[in-house]
Structure 1
Amino acid sequence: MTSKRSRSPLPHVLRDRNAGIYLTGVVVSGFGTAALWLAAGVWVKDLTGSDGLAALCQLAMWAPVLAGPALGTLADRVRRRPLLIGVSLLPAALLPALSAVGSADRVWLVLAVLFVYGTAGVVHDAAESALVASAVDARLLGDFNGLRMTATESMKLLAPLAGAGLYAAYGGPGVALLDALTFVLAAGVYAALRVREEKPPPPASGWRTRTAEGARYLWGRPRLRLLVLAGGATMLCSGINGALVYAVVDGLGRSPAYAGVLAAAQGAGTVAAGLVAGPALRRLGAVRFAVYGSALAAVAAALRAVPSDAVAVVCSAVYGVGLPCALIAAMTAVQRETPGPLLGRVAATANTLLFAPTVAGLAVGAGLVELADHRLVLPALGTVWLTALAVLARRGREACGVAANREGDEDGYRSGDEDGGQTQPGTRTAHPPASADRTADRSASDASPA
């Protein structure tokens, strides 16, 4: 591993044609999604005056995550690039229908479209994870996932402003049409990916059995299980922390709009984390990268109890740096260590286990903020969070040590890619390496996404 590779991952990733194309698709579709995410709730609130119905917009897009293991089977039944294009065009075809929504009695149409939108997103994420693993050089996956996180968070910082302006000028239908356009553009970008895919063979078992195979594989690999559990615990705690944000703002004596300042600081931190994720993964290994990052987020969450504007902004930025580490580590490990025919199901199962706890955390946090002062809840949350990470890290070290001894691998607790790309015994072998799958030329300099 060279120092040049560690210092500058972006040029190396972008010199890989497929990686650069895919990141372009992430930016384009992410812009529209982030704009709609904000505008949908505001639109429903304006039409109905109901906070509950506005909140259902978020639930409609989140709920399909719970069916991730089942939906992920689709990504293993068909070729992934056509599927990725198809699930991009599906929302593009549905979103223009929202132009018919002009009164409260048609809000059901907004919720129905958003539910399909979320379902397509779950399939999209599963197909994406599987396709990226074969279209992008394996040595670039860590850096790629970090840069993907940076691209996504950058859009979350920029797109809501554009969406709010478009909503003010043209209403909800204008934002929906913008999002539809970005999906069409993203589908065109994905069509430019150069990857050879064989048609998957007919399934040898039923749908339920195939769904269970993804969960069984994930749970049967100690290091993957540890990384996903650490990520799920992190997102559970992040949900609790997120529910307390307005209590923090009140404690600072600020208006609710000040939450936007804290969100911007957190987003900036996440952008920075994505830029250094690849080098950090190689230096620390996946497990340590995940645990250290989550511990950083836990400390930052606890310190938000301090009634100081400067502390709140700095802690939000530090929180943004630490929070995505577990997610990047988990998904990179899933992509590297899962056989190609299983990757869609395993990735979808991992996504469910990673992100579903956020909803539970938000519910718990909403209850806690009504029962106790946030200045007591946040330090307690940080303590519980750190304790959980310590337990997971200790058990993970033991479990991965046993697995490593069984496989003759003396570094089972590390990521297995310390040299920048070598995979450890037990990694995916069901399909050729990425460099053999692709027809595009790429650079010999390789340095490998809330």
Structure 2
Amino acid sequence: MTTTTTWALARVLRDRDASLYLAGVVVSGFGTSALWLASGVWVKDLTGSDGLAALCMLAMWAPTLAGPFLGTLTDRTRRKPLLIGTNLLLAALLLTLFTVDSPDRLWLLFAVLFVYGAAGVVHDAAESALVAGAVPAPLLGDFNGLRMTATEGMKLLAPLAGAGLYAAYGGASVALLDAVTFVVATGLYACLRVRESRPEPRAGGRRKQTAEGARFLWAHPGLRPLVLAGGTTMLFAGLSGAMVYAVIDGLGRAPAYAGVLYAVQGAGSVVIGLASGPALRRLGERRFAAYGIALTAAAAGLRAIPSDPVALVCSAAIGAGLPCVLIAALTAVQRETPDALLGRTAATANSLVFTPNVVGLAAGAALVELLDVRLVSAVIGLAWLVTAVPLFQNPASASRTATRSPSDANPA
């Protein structure tokens, strides 16, 4: 790690609010990752159905489609109380899962997971808006990189802990763990020293206010290509991710080898998270995202080669490249969006970036049954590489939109 990177990370961690935010992300992320794994196993044990187990992830992802609408909430009220209230609501809801002990009670689990996903959309939008006001602008890239590192680090540890807790004490114990992490995170967020004034009443109906975030994104010459590149990247990531077990079959390995590949990929994400701040300052958001996309695309294509060393190197490269466009897009949204619009804009950007991942997973699951995985991997890699090209071009001048209000923008 370079001296510049170490200095920037130390500066972020010395910032009281930034370190409290990161602690909250680590704690609540641990509980979320544990529940993510345990919920599917819980359903599988109660019903024996793979399809119903898969619905757990769908229940948590579906509210992302309503991101622009849910993000409006974060611009209509103060964000710190909203963040605290969302955490306490989830902690209370999770305790209801103690009653899930038979297949006829699974509706409650799916309902809680759906609310969990919706609250997560609101939580992420409120957090992004608060961070933009509390963390100095030059350190936003470092903070978002550390946040990515913390999130990926929890994905390496929490599922194992959740699986062990589930095996020993059942699904309700994992729900209790998650509830406790939300309470602890609430205490950390309550210690934040942020001053917020009550938002001004907004003119126009809820539909118009919801659309303002999308209009702003579309009209901004710097944000539009980053968000579109993020959505395209996650689409291809879904396509590529759906083929991981076919890749493992080509290596002659058991399905459990996926755990090794995902662990290596997570390690790559941790490394790039630590280096993202200095990289963003040197390259800028567009080139940082473009290089990350190019690295990920090349690695996804090379996975067609049936070799263990190649598979491991490609997994690490995907882990390092994939977060680049996500960090770049989030940082740019936080820097460029007016505070009054930030909640809606951040939630809309998240919807546009992450929803295509679900489409890609579904399409990839169909393609892997019909076509040779080596051919599909190579084609995906080449097509994915093309999406990085627009980001290497010089952005259009922002002066044309600087004096326009969000309501004046004309979305396509």
Tell me the TM-score normalized by structure 2.
0.96
Q: Which residue of 2 aligns with 1:180?
A: 179
Rounded Cα–Cα distance in structure 2 between residues aligned with 1:401 and 1:216: 17
Correspondence list, 1:27-38, <5 A? 27-38=26-37
Rounded Cα–Cα distance in structure 1 between residues aligned with 2:397 and 2:175: 52
Q: Which residue of 1 aligns with 2:408?
A: none
Residues 30, 154 of structure 2: 8 Å contact kept: yes
Correspondence list, 1:416-427, <5 A? none
Q: Which residue of 2 aligns with 1:142?
A: 141
RMSD across aligned positions (CA): 1.5
Partner AA of 1:135 in structure 2: A
Matched, 1:246 2:275: no
Residues 337, 426 of structure 1: 8 Å contact kept: no
Partner AA of 1:62 in structure 2: W
- How far apart are 1:426 and its partner, in Å? 8.1
Partner AA of 2:398 in structure 1: A
Matched, 1:273 2:272: yes
User: Residue deviations 1:108-166, cap 9 Å, x none?
Assistant: 11100000000000000110110100111112100000000000000000001100110
Q: Which residue of 1 aligns with 2:398?
A: 403
Partner AA of 1:401 in structure 2: A
Change (3 A) 1:286 1:48: same
- How far apart are 1:403 and its partner, in Å? 3.3
3-state SS in 1 of match to 2:175: helix
Change (3 A) 1:111 1:4: same
Rounded Cα–Cα distance in structure 1 between residues aligned with 2:42 and 2:398: 52
Correspondence list, 1:359-370, <5 A? 359-370=358-369
Residues 129, 334 of structure 2: 8 Å contact kept: yes
Rounded Cα–Cα distance in structure 2 between residues aligned with 1:90 and 1:256: 37
- How far apart are 1:345 and its partner, in Å? 0.3
Residues 222, 396 of structure 2: 8 Å contact kept: no
Rounded Cα–Cα distance in structure 2 between residues aligned with 1:297 and 1:8: 28
Matched, 1:393 2:391: yes
Q: Which residue of 2 aligns with 1:120?
A: 119
Identity %: 69
Structure showing the higher helix proportion among its residues: 2
Rounded Cα–Cα distance in structure 1 between residues aligned with 2:4 and 2:334: 21
- How far apart are 1:384 and its partner, in Å? 0.5
Partner AA of 2:320 in structure 1: V
- How far apart are 1:7 and its partner, in Å? 4.5
Rounded Cα–Cα distance in structure 2 between residues aligned with 1:295 and 1:272: 17
Unaligned runs of 5+ in 1: 408-424, 429-450
Rounded Cα–Cα distance in structure 2 between residues aligned with 1:284 and 1:190: 32
Residues 336, 427 of structure 1: 8 Å contact kept: no
Unaligned runs of 5+ in 2: 406-412
- How far apart are 1:90 and its partner, in Å? 1.0
Correspondence list, 1:29-428, <5 A? 29-390=28-389, 392-393=390-391, 397=394, 400-403=395-398, 406=400
Residues 226, 391 of structure 2: 8 Å contact kept: no
Rounded Cα–Cα distance in structure 2 between residues aligned with 1:214 and 1:82: 22
Residues 9, 275 of structure 1: 8 Å contact kept: no
Partner AA of 2:263 in structure 1: A
Partner AA of 1:360 in structure 2: V
3-state SS in 1 of match to 2:105: helix
3-state SS in 2 of match to 1:222: coil
3-state SS in 2 of match to 1:307: coil
3-state SS in 1 of match to 2:387: helix
Residues 221, 397 of structure 2: 8 Å contact kept: no
- How far apart are 1:4 and its partner, in Å? 4.2
Residues 127, 344 of structure 1: 8 Å contact kept: yes
3-state SS in 1 of match to 2:375: helix
Residues 239, 362 of structure 1: 8 Å contact kept: yes
Q: Which residue of 1 aligns with 2:8?
A: 9
3-state SS in 2 of match to 1:102: coil
Residues 18, 136 of structure 1: 8 Å contact kept: yes
Partner AA of 1:375 in structure 2: R
- How far apart are 1:427 and its partner, in Å? 13
Matched positions, count: 404
3-state SS in 1 of match to 2:381: helix
Rounded Cα–Cα distance in structure 2 between residues aligned with 1:293 and 1:85: 34
- How far apart are 1:294 and its partner, in Å? 0.8
- How far apart are 1:389 and its partner, in Å? 2.1
Partner AA of 1:381 in structure 2: I
Rounded Cα–Cα distance in structure 2 between residues aligned with 1:229 and 1:427: 22
3-state SS in 1 of match to 2:398: helix
Change (3 A) 1:322 1:380: same
Residues 98, 173 of structure 1: 8 Å contact kept: yes
